[in-house]
Protein backbone atom coordinates (compact mmCIF):
# COMPACT_ATOMS: atom_id res chain seq x y z
CA UNK A 1 0.00 0.00 0.00
CA UNK A 2 2.84 2.37 0.76
CA UNK A 3 4.28 2.08 -2.74
CA UNK A 4 1.21 3.30 -4.62
CA UNK A 5 0.71 6.18 -2.15
CA UNK A 6 4.28 7.32 -2.68
CA UNK A 7 3.70 7.27 -6.46
CA UNK A 8 0.83 9.79 -6.22
CA UNK A 9 1.92 13.40 -6.73
CA UNK A 10 1.88 15.58 -3.63
CA UNK A 11 -0.81 17.96 -4.94
CA UNK A 12 -3.32 15.07 -5.18
CA UNK A 13 -2.52 14.01 -1.63
CA UNK A 14 -3.37 17.52 -0.47
CA UNK A 15 -6.63 17.37 -2.45
CA UNK A 16 -7.50 14.08 -0.75
CA UNK A 17 -6.78 15.45 2.73
CA UNK A 18 -8.82 18.58 1.98
CA UNK A 19 -11.74 16.49 0.70
CA UNK A 20 -11.77 14.39 3.86
CA UNK A 21 -11.62 17.53 6.02
CA UNK A 22 -14.44 19.13 4.00
CA UNK A 23 -16.79 16.15 4.31
CA UNK A 24 -16.01 15.73 8.00
CA UNK A 25 -16.82 19.40 8.61
CA UNK A 26 -19.97 19.11 6.50
CA UNK A 27 -21.19 16.15 8.57
CA UNK A 28 -20.49 18.02 11.81
CA UNK A 29 -22.42 21.08 10.59
CA UNK A 30 -25.39 18.96 9.49
CA UNK A 31 -25.42 17.18 12.85
CA UNK A 32 -25.29 20.52 14.70
CA UNK A 33 -28.19 21.85 12.62
CA UNK A 34 -30.26 18.76 13.41
CA UNK A 35 -29.50 19.11 17.13
CA UNK A 36 -30.46 22.80 17.05
CA UNK A 37 -33.78 22.05 15.33
CA UNK A 38 -34.55 19.26 17.80
CA UNK A 39 -33.79 21.60 20.71
CA UNK A 40 -36.06 24.32 19.32
CA UNK A 41 -38.86 21.80 18.77
CA UNK A 42 -38.54 20.49 22.33
CA UNK A 43 -38.54 24.05 23.67
CA UNK A 44 -41.67 24.90 21.67
CA UNK A 45 -43.36 21.75 22.97
CA UNK A 46 -42.55 22.64 26.59
CA UNK A 47 -43.83 26.20 26.06
CA UNK A 48 -47.06 24.91 24.51
CA UNK A 49 -47.57 22.51 27.40
CA UNK A 50 -47.05 25.28 29.96
CA UNK A 51 -49.42 27.60 28.11
CA UNK A 52 -51.96 24.80 27.74
CA UNK A 53 -51.93 24.17 31.47
CA UNK A 54 -52.39 27.90 32.07
CA UNK A 55 -55.37 28.02 29.72
CA UNK A 56 -56.80 24.86 31.30
CA UNK A 57 -56.72 26.49 34.74
CA UNK A 58 -58.32 29.69 33.37
CA UNK A 59 -61.58 30.64 35.14
CA UNK A 60 -64.61 29.25 33.31
CA UNK A 61 -66.62 32.48 33.33
CA UNK A 62 -63.99 34.73 31.75
CA UNK A 63 -62.95 34.82 28.12
CA UNK A 64 -59.58 33.52 26.99
CA UNK A 65 -57.04 36.10 25.84
CA UNK A 66 -56.95 36.66 22.08
CA UNK A 67 -53.59 35.30 20.93
CA UNK A 68 -52.48 34.06 17.56
CA UNK A 69 -51.11 30.78 18.94
CA UNK A 70 -54.33 29.87 20.80
CA UNK A 71 -56.79 28.00 18.62
CA UNK A 72 -60.17 27.02 20.08
CA UNK A 73 -61.18 23.41 19.49
CA UNK A 74 -64.10 24.57 17.33
CA UNK A 75 -61.62 26.01 14.81
CA UNK A 76 -59.55 22.80 14.67
CA UNK A 77 -61.45 21.72 11.54
CA UNK A 78 -59.55 24.42 9.63
CA UNK A 79 -56.31 22.46 10.16
CA UNK A 80 -57.37 19.51 8.02
CA UNK A 81 -59.16 16.20 8.40
CA UNK A 82 -56.61 14.03 10.21
CA UNK A 83 -55.36 16.87 12.42
CA UNK A 84 -58.90 17.75 13.49
CA UNK A 85 -59.67 14.10 14.29
CA UNK A 86 -56.47 13.73 16.33
CA UNK A 87 -57.23 16.89 18.29
CA UNK A 88 -60.81 15.82 18.94
CA UNK A 89 -59.79 12.46 20.44
CA UNK A 90 -56.51 13.39 22.09
CA UNK A 91 -55.36 14.62 25.45
CA UNK A 92 -52.02 16.28 26.22
CA UNK A 93 -49.42 16.81 23.46
CA UNK A 94 -50.64 15.76 20.00
CA UNK A 95 -48.20 15.55 17.08
CA UNK A 96 -49.52 17.28 13.95
CA UNK A 97 -47.46 16.38 10.90
CA UNK A 98 -48.03 18.66 7.93
CA UNK A 99 -50.65 20.86 9.63
CA UNK A 100 -50.53 24.60 9.07
CA UNK A 101 -52.16 27.59 10.70
CA UNK A 102 -51.95 30.23 7.99
CA UNK A 103 -48.33 30.25 6.83
CA UNK A 104 -46.98 28.77 10.05
CA UNK A 105 -46.25 25.02 10.16
CA UNK A 106 -47.47 23.36 13.36
CA UNK A 107 -45.41 20.75 15.22
CA UNK A 108 -48.26 19.77 17.46
CA UNK A 109 -50.85 21.03 19.88
CA UNK A 110 -51.55 20.80 23.57
CA UNK A 111 -55.09 19.59 24.21
CA UNK A 112 -56.32 20.07 27.74
Q: Are 64 and 55 in contact (CB under 8 A)?
A: yes
Q: Which residues contact 106 (CB under 8 A, 6 or more apart)?
A: 79, 83, 96, 99, 100
User: Sorting pLDDT into bands at 50, 70 and 90, what band is 101?
Assistant: low
pLDDT exceeds cutoff 90 at 27: yes
Which has the higher per-residue pLDDT, 50 or 73?
Answer: 50
Dihedrals phi, psi of 99, to nearest 5 degrees: -80, 150
Task: Give pLDDT, residue 15.
Answer: 95
Total-model pTM: 0.64
Amino acid sequence: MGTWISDIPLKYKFWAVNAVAFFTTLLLVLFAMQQEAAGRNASAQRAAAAEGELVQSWPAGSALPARSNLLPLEQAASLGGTAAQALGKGQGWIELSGARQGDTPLLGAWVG
